Amino acid sequence: MRILVAGGLGALGKAVAAELAARGMQVAIVDMAPAEAGAASVVQGGVDLADEASVTKAYSEVTANLGGLDAVVNVAGGFIWEPVDGGSIDSWDRMYRMNLRTAAVSARAAIPHLLANGGGSIVNVGAAAANAAGMGMAPYAASKAGVKALTESLADELRGRGVRVNAILPTIIDTPANRRDMPDADRSGWVTPSGAARAIALLISADAACITGASIVLSLPG
């Protein structure tokens, strides 16, 4: 299988690329960060994943390099904790652009290649906070609720065209950035990047051929 990981140079993205490569898949990464060597056979860095023209061009080049496209995983995103009262309204735009717009742009760019291949799979990375947002989570959770809605609507749109669309909704992923931001937190229940990567691999695989439109909460290390 030929898989494109959007945002594959972050902590979760690298784990996803490594997991898929270990399963014998061809992996390509497109990311805003500078390109670096890793588990992927093709890496395009310096691509603004919120810019449709840039992403469309990059996906066409990657697909030509891979000889087709079977799935895309939308990992790109960001987090901010900020109360509404006293926070910045610009944070809402930032979270929308990083989390929801990137997923929508990536899906739109990937769909023609998946359809040309006869079908495939899209997996989005949402967040459990989309279902229950605590204090300070509103801008982030709203954007991730948008990812969940995108997943459900796009799955229905593509249901009869051979493309499945699903999402994972992790609680807190055990990344260096989250450890740095929450140094005193109890990490015993945090989802490991490798655990999330295995869940993504399952949703891409033929074992999940009957699943579309699902948003699966991940709440154990895995």
Please give the full DSSP string across 90-114, using - where no structure is assigned.
HHHHHHIIIIIIHHHHHHHHHHHHH
The β-bridge relationship of strands 2-6 and 163-170 is unpaired
Q: What is the structure's pLDDT at 178?
A: 84
Strand-pairing partners, residue 217, are 169
Q: What is the structure's pLDDT at 41?
A: 84
- For the chain, residues with pLDDT lower than 70 are none
Residues identified as active-site: 140
Q: What is the structure's pLDDT at 185?
A: 83
Q: What is the structure's pLDDT at 177?
A: 85
Outline where the chain has alpha helix (H).
11-22, 52-66, 90-95, 102-116, 138-158, 176-181, 193-204
Q: What is the structure's pLDDT at 197?
A: 98
